[in-house]
Amino acid sequence: EAQVLYDFTAEPGNNELTVKEGETLTITNQHIGGGWIEAQNSRGEIGLVPEDYIEVIPNPNVGNVASPDLSFFDAYAPASAPGQNQASNGNDPWSVWNADPSGGSNNNWASNPEGTQTGKTAPDPWSSVSQGHPQAYQGPGAEDDEWDDEWDDMKSTGGYAESESGDGGGIQRGGAHATSMKISLNKFPGFSKSGPELYLLCKQLTKGKDKLPIYIGEVGPVWFYPETQLDCVVADPKKGSKMYGLKSYIEYQITPSTTNRPVNHRYKHFDWLYERLLDKFGSAIPIPSLPDKQVTGRFEEEFIKMRMERLQGWMSRMCRHPVVSSSEVFQLFLTYKDEKEWKMGKRKAEKDETVGVMIFSTIEPEAPDIDLIEVDQKCEQFSRFTKAMDDGVKEILTVGHEHWKRCTGPLPKEYQRIGKAFQNLSSVFNSSGYQGESTLTDAMTAAGKTYEEIAQMFAEQPKKDLHFLMETNNEYKGLLGCFPDTIGVHKAAIDKVKEGDKLVATSKITPHEKVTMAKRVSVMSYALQAEMNHFHSNRIYDYNRVMQLYLEEQVKFYETIAAKLRQAHGQFTTM
Amino acid sequence: EAQVLYDFTAEPGNNELTVKEGETLTITNQHIGGGWIEAQNSRGEIGLVPEDYIEVIPNPNVGNVASPDLSFFDAYAPASAPGQNQASNGNDPWSVWNADPSGGSNNNWASNPEGTQTGKTAPDPWSSVSQGHPQAYQGPGAEDDEWDDEWDDMKSTGGYAESESGDGGGIQRGGAHATSMKISLNKFPGFSKSGPELYLLCKQLTKGKDKLPIYIGEVGPVWFYPETQLDCVVADPKKGSKMYGLKSYIEYQITPSTTNRPVNHRYKHFDWLYERLLDKFGSAIPIPSLPDKQVTGRFEEEFIKMRMERLQGWMSRMCRHPVVSSSEVFQLFLTYKDEKEWKMGKRKAEKDETVGVMIFSTIEPEAPDIDLIEVDQKCEQFSRFTKAMDDGVKEILTVGHEHWKRCTGPLPKEYQRIGKAFQNLSSVFNSSGYQGESTLTDAMTAAGKTYEEIAQMFAEQPKKDLHFLMETNNEYKGLLGCFPDTIGVHKAAIDKVKEGDKLVATSKITPHEKVTMAKRVSVMSYALQAEMNHFHSNRIYDYNRVMQLYLEEQVKFYETIAAKLRQAHGQFTTM
């Protein structure tokens, strides 16, 4: 009834079935949901197979009457081939977590010698990009192109020609932008001015209102924090259209806590903001990527809701950052009054020259210089920590992903079977013809129904607790993925300063320039320390909050089960 | 590192690994327990494989020093080949449930046209007899032969030559014994006196003290119930030995509630009692088999404990039966004063001629005769009910068995991994060097440990609740397995009475005998109804009790988890 399109190796413990390309399967249950179907192979083994990996062979006896020609619709929604792709990955918003977007700027551990890209080796139909089979993952995410791909107004401003939003875009662009540093720094050819020395050796530092002070707080160097923390609400997604309705897009309403006046932005505007922040602050401050375009959802609404939730998370994190939130470009995004102000602000931001490593020229620590050894040690420590945390976060994501699958797959099925078994025995008892049977059979039926309710609870629980644990860790995975780039800038600068004597000896720099470089690498270290302290403080808050929420919901979950079972228990009587 | 001895097909959802005979595996974890090991095949897939299905290839580098010659011990305990069989089925006392002992008298649904033998088709390494590979299931059960095989005193009394206890024994014996009826009745050749007509046409009925009255109670025909119900305690198993210590056996102490004076019996004595009860009452009262000899346990103590628990269950059920418990042979077993009384009583019981269908000659219903149509309807109803209940009970056993495996296998592993992931992240956090870290890390470590505790709880819970649900259903499965034989006697009798006119016409019987037969089949029907009412009343009590116990422990379980998580939750603080 179905043909296997790609090899798929079952993961143990998930009711999955290993299949080979070209194999013919019999579909035993098409209504599993979550992008899975249950199928039987020729050896009689039954298990779950990802829908995307198989192609249903049309039953010639049913034929054309039952399956109308949908090719017209397909042209607009290529993912909607009946019963196959529409539901792919629907239930599992974590699908993209196990896949590192190729070339994405937030997965740079590979450029770190000790780094490993992913913790997971088994093929996972839920992980999107890395699978490489064409039908998969063309859910609502694919339609995105229709909503966000018209960069015409962008193109007119120059500098973004052909560049789509997000992944990989940074590499195509020239200049001293953050995402391209990885390339220019790793293979430092001699002593060009393309790396951190652009700042280390520059003649004139920025003056005046753009200064970013660093203070020494209780925990060490800290950014300047405004008295009231900025926040914003991303809400009310609306579908708009242009080109006489041929192209549609989603517009979100963003309301900052300062003005309380909503502004509208499309995903591509967020993406524009991300690029500006990355360019400007990326050397000093890890700027997490926007939620992936590949975020999937079974239905358009689900997709929009998920993307909005993640845009909200991203915006909140940016609002919480004192440097980012007070920057001109960020304020423009949140508070522009009209189209004209927006367009002018955009043009100005794109012409900003204090980008890349030059951001350090605006930083002014109110503290004495640190010597190179300490700078080096701090940098190493942060590098170790962020790498270790990246591993820890990925472990939680992997385990959580497994747990999600079990809670929504085999567990509810098992509790349902227990419930059915009790109810079946109860109905047998009911047929005994013996009097005084009903107390027992009523109680057993109730107990059976309780286990069916528990099955349902298990299936729905992850959305109530695991979801947030996963979202938070996913956010941190994204954030941690930016550190290798940021730390890389620092390491390159430290290496350069270490070469100081040699550079003086070979007359590449003057002795005065050597002193300046040492001072400036100290400034960079203060910036990194302030950023790490900001990161730690947020991390402690975030993990406290998400663990509280998780455990609170878990407690409720188990208490509800206990209460339901207690009620079921009360119906039994021993005479 | 290990060679596969038999094909094994993984059951979906249990982390199992499909392996083929001759395949070579790498053992990745030998300490899974419960008769399983974790192994990896050549394709890199990892999963659980039953220990009995593989043979560890000795590492030539380690060689003889590490593995002493155990062949001497093997002669006495063939199952104890190091690291292989000793642990087989250890954790799963339900192993024998999915296997119908071949030829066992308690699995006669096959002789019932609609009957199906087992509900399970997937190969199950936990099911014993049906697997047919030699090493498996020779745990302590095999040593049983040493404890119980000396039937010398039995042989001297004649009639039991070469017959071992239990399964299949009944078929070898001659006479009108219950278990042999199946054979003689199903292919009724003409009109011999080997079937129910032995009673239907017998000249003289038993008189006097042996009469078994039937009264009409609220629920219909009922046996005579004594005022105080007999009960007994099976306890204190002691190892004895004979033949200068070469043979050993286990003796149990049985204390009846009437005399409160303990008597000692070995398994073979229980088996003798079972045979007597089956011979005497089996046509009217289903006599459940003794706990299987195949009951397994990882250690001798575990095995003995399990057997004792089941002997207790069997004895309690017999004590609760008004007819069985008041019988001379049962009283002898419980209250014999010395060896002499025991031996004399045994001889008398073995000479009892009121056995097989003749038991009906002792039954005296205090109610008017029932006509054949009603007799037939009642019999059909009981047949349908017991068959349906047998299916229901087997469904619970199958589902419960799956649940047991999940609760002791993949679930604890998953919760442990969650716990470890939290603790790992916590220790990463601890390395941050940021001050004020410890509140969060202490809380996360505690949360991680809590999930490890929950893992442990999951693994241990089945012993506290599912065990009893399984034991009760297993007991009922055994009991229900006796009904086809018992009901078969009634059906044969009914068929015979239906033939009455024809038999008179062909002068096989007299018109008077035809009337007698009708009266006697009415007596049989009263006996069956009384027995069914006894069964129903016990069933309602038993299922109420076991469901109460199960749900009570389940409530405790989930409440304990909730309490633990609540405590873990309390350690987190949002600033």
The answer to whether residue B164 scores a pLDDT higher than 90 is no
pLDDT band at B8 (very low <50, low <70, confident <90, very high): confident
Model pLDDT for residues B194-210, shown as the tens digit of each residue: 578 788 888 766 666 67
Model pLDDT for residues B334-367, shown as the tens digit of each residue: 999 999 999 999 999 999 888 899 999 999 999 9
Cβ burial B197-207 (10 Å sphere, 16+ → b, else e): bbbbbbeeebe
Q: Tell me the mean pLDDT in the region A323-332.
A: 95
* pLDDT recorded at residue A574: 66
Burial class (CB in 10 A: 0-12, 13-18, 19+), A359: buried
* pLDDT recorded at residue B230: 94
Residues from chain B contacting residue A425 (CB–CB below 8 Å): 389, 392-393, 395-396, 543
Q: Going along A304-386, which residue ranges are E strands? A: 363-365
Of the candidates A389, A424, A429, the beta carbon closest to that of B395 is on A424
Contact criterion met (CB < 8 Å) for B399 and A421: yes
- The bridge status of strand B212-217 relative to strand B363-365 is parallel
Handedness of CA B499, B500, B505, B507 (dihedral sign): positive
Chain B, window 529-548: residues with a beta carbon less than 8 angstroms from a chain A beta carbon: 532-533, 536-537, 539-541, 543-545, 547-548
Model pLDDT for residues B24-61, shown as the tens digit of each residue: 898 888 877 667 788 888 888 888 888 878 888 765 54
Q: Tell me the mean pLDDT in the region A34-48.
A: 83
What's CA A276's distance to the chain center, in Å?
A: 20
Whether the CB-CB separation of A470 and A94 falls below 8 Å is answered with: yes
Nearest CA in chain A to B423: A392
Burial class (CB in 10 A: 0-12, 13-18, 19+), B174: exposed
Residues from chain B contacting residue A536 (CB–CB below 8 Å): 432, 434, 437
Model pLDDT for residues A422-450, shown as the tens digit of each residue: 999 999 999 998 988 999 999 999 999 99
Fill in the amino acid letter for B110: A
Taking each helix axis from N to C terminus, what angle separates A511-570 and A466-480, rounded to the nearest 10 degrees?
Answer: 170
Fill in the amino acid letter for A9: T
Question: Looking at CA atoms only, how far is residue A513 from chain B in angstroms?
Answer: 33
Rounded CA gap, B94 and A185, in Å? 65
Question: Looking at CA atoms only, how far is residue A570 from chain B in angstroms?
Answer: 8
Number of A–B residue contacts, CB under 8 Å: 217
Residue % of chain B over a pLDDT of 90: 53
pLDDT band at B541 (very low <50, low <70, confident <90, very high): very high
Is-same-fold flag (B2-88; B140-401+467-555)? no
A403 touches B at CB < 8 Å: yes
Model pLDDT for residues B217-236, shown as the tens digit of each residue: 999 999 999 999 999 999 98
Rounded CA gap, B401 and A67, in Å? 43
Of the candidates A402, A424, A536, the beta carbon closest to that of B432 is on A536
Cβ burial B30-47 (10 Å sphere, 16+ → b, else e): eebbbbbbbbbbeeebbb
Whether the CB-CB separation of B153 and B164 falls below 8 Å is answered with: no
Whether the CB-CB separation of A342 and A242 falls below 8 Å is answered with: no
Residue % of chain B over a pLDDT of 70: 71
Contact criterion met (CB < 8 Å) for B551 and A447: yes
Contact criterion met (CB < 8 Å) for A388 and B428: yes
The answer to whether residue A82 scores a pLDDT higher than 70 is no
Of B453, B426, B420, B422, which is closest to residue B438 (Cα–Cα)?
B426
Contact criterion met (CB < 8 Å) for B395 and A425: yes
Contact criterion met (CB < 8 Å) for A574 and B389: no
Q: In the numeric block, which tokens belong to residue A164? A: 């789509």
pLDDT band at A3 (very low <50, low <70, confident <90, very high): confident
DSSP 8-state assignment for residue A298 = S
Give the dihedral of Cα atoms B161, B163, B164, B170; nearest 10 deg. Answer: -150
B133 touches A at CB < 8 Å: no
Mean pLDDT of chain A: 77
A20 touches B at CB < 8 Å: no
Fill in the amino acid letter for A434: Y
Residues from chain B contacting residue A439 (CB–CB below 8 Å): 544
Q: In the numeric block, which tokens belong to residue B480? A: 């229900």
Whether the CB-CB separation of A21 and A71 falls below 8 Å is answered with: no
Rounded CA gap, B257 and B260, in Å? 5
User: What is the maximal distance between C-alpha atoms in chain B?
Assistant: 107
Whole-model pTM? 0.71
Q: Tell me the range of A94-108, A172-186, B390-404 where mean pLDDT is highest.
A: B390-404
Model pLDDT for residues B54-86, shown as the tens digit of each residue: 888 765 544 333 333 333 222 222 333 333 333
Question: Looking at CA atoms only, how far is residue B424 from chain A in angstroms?
Answer: 6
Please list the residues that pair with B252 across neighbouring strands: B265
* Residue in B569, B571, B573 to test binding to A, most A beta-carbons within 10 Å: B569
Whether the CB-CB separation of B199 and B360 falls below 8 Å is answered with: yes
Residue with tokens 């002997």: B311
* pLDDT recorded at residue B384: 96
Q: Tell me the mean pLDDT in the region A197-209.
A: 74
Quickly name the fold that domain B140-401+467-555 has.
PX Domain (3.30.1520)
- Classified as helix, coil or strand, A430 is helix
Question: Looking at CA atoms only, how far is residue B184 from chain A in angstroms?
Answer: 30
Residues from chain B contacting residue A558 (CB–CB below 8 Å): 558-559, 561-562, 565
* pLDDT recorded at residue A30: 80
Contact criterion met (CB < 8 Å) for B421 and A399: yes
Whether the CB-CB separation of A90 and A33 falls below 8 Å is answered with: yes
The H-assigned helical ranges of B481-510 are: 483-498, 500-505
Per-domain residue ranges of chain B: 2-88, 140-401+467-555
Q: In the numeric block, which tokens belong to residue B570? A: 């309390």
Contact criterion met (CB < 8 Å) for A428 and B403: no
The answer to whether residue B168 scores a pLDDT higher than 60 is no
B574 touches A at CB < 8 Å: yes
Contact criterion met (CB < 8 Å) for B434 and A544: no
Question: Looking at CA atoms only, how far is residue A367 from chain B in angstroms?
Answer: 19
Give the Cβ contact number of residue B218 at 10 Å.
8
Of the candidates B385, B395, B533, the beta carbon closest to that of A421 is on B395
Rounded CA gap, B321 and B336, in Å? 20
The answer to whether residue A232 scores a pLDDT higher than 60 is yes
Question: Looking at CA atoms only, how far is residue A56 from chain B in angstroms?
Answer: 23
Please list the residues that pair with A242 across neighbouring strands: A247
Contact criterion met (CB < 8 Å) for B536 and A434: yes
The answer to whether residue A224 scores a pLDDT higher than 50 is yes
pLDDT band at B130 (very low <50, low <70, confident <90, very high): very low
Distances (CA, A) of B512 to A220, A259, A471, B370, B519: 113, 109, 88, 18, 11
Provide CB contacts within 8 A for A5, sequence distance 6+: A21, A52, A53, A54, A55, A133, A135
* pLDDT recorded at residue B107: 41
B410 touches A at CB < 8 Å: yes
A433 touches B at CB < 8 Å: yes
Rounded CA gap, B194 and B180, in Å? 10
* pLDDT recorded at residue A287: 95
Quickly name the fold that domain B2-88 has.
SH3 type barrels. (2.30.30)
Question: Looking at CA atoms only, how far is residue B527 from chain A in angstroms?
Answer: 16
- Mention the CATH class of domain A2-131: mainly beta
Least confident window among A208-212, A311-315, A329-333, B30-34: B30-34
pLDDT band at B293 (very low <50, low <70, confident <90, very high): low
Model pLDDT for residues A457-510, shown as the tens digit of each residue: 999 999 999 999 999 999 999 999 999 999 999 999 999 999 999 999 999 889
Nearest CA in chain B to A432: B385
Q: In the numeric block, which tokens belong to residue A56? A: 């249903």
Residue B252 has phi, psi (to 5 degrees) of -105, 150
Residue with tokens 């890395």: A130
Mean pLDDT of chain B: 77
* pLDDT recorded at residue A117: 35
The answer to whether residue A174 scores a pLDDT higher than 70 is no
- The bridge status of strand A363-365 relative to strand A212-217 is parallel
Question: Looking at CA atoms only, how far is residue A88 from chain B in angstroms?
Answer: 21
* pLDDT recorded at residue B7: 82
Residue with tokens 């993961």: A11
Residue with tokens 């593989």: B54
- Classified as helix, coil or strand, B29 is strand
Model pLDDT for residues B415-469, shown as the tens digit of each residue: 999 999 999 999 999 999 898 899 999 999 999 999 999 999 999 999 999 999 9
Question: Looking at CA atoms only, how far is residue B141 from chain A in angstroms?
Answer: 31
* pLDDT recorded at residue B49: 85
Rounded CA gap, B171 and B174, in Å? 8
Of the candidates A45, A435, A555, the beta carbon closest to that of B9 is on A45
Residues from chain A contacting residue B406 (CB–CB below 8 Å): 410-411, 414
SS3 content of chain A, % helix, strand, coil (to 5): 55, 10, 35
The answer to whether residue A140 scores a pLDDT higher than 80 is no
Least confident window among A297-311, A429-443, B91-105: B91-105
A443 touches B at CB < 8 Å: yes
Residue with tokens 């009634």: B490
* pLDDT recorded at residue A10: 81
Whether A268 has a binding-site annotation, put simply, is yes
Burial class (CB in 10 A: 0-12, 13-18, 19+), B351: exposed
pLDDT band at B16 (very low <50, low <70, confident <90, very high): confident
Residue B43 has phi, psi (to 5 degrees) of -85, 5
Nearest CA in chain B to A123: B45
Fill in the amino acid letter for A493: A
Model pLDDT for residues A341-374, shown as the tens digit of each residue: 999 999 999 998 888 899 999 999 999 999 999 9
Following DSSP, what letter does each residue of A81-133 receive, concatenated? -TTTTTTTTTT-GGGGGGSPPTT-TT--GGGSTT--S-S--S--TT--GGG--
Residue % of chain A over a pLDDT of 90: 53
The answer to whether residue B320 scores a pLDDT higher than 50 is yes
Residues from chain B contacting residue A532 (CB–CB below 8 Å): 434
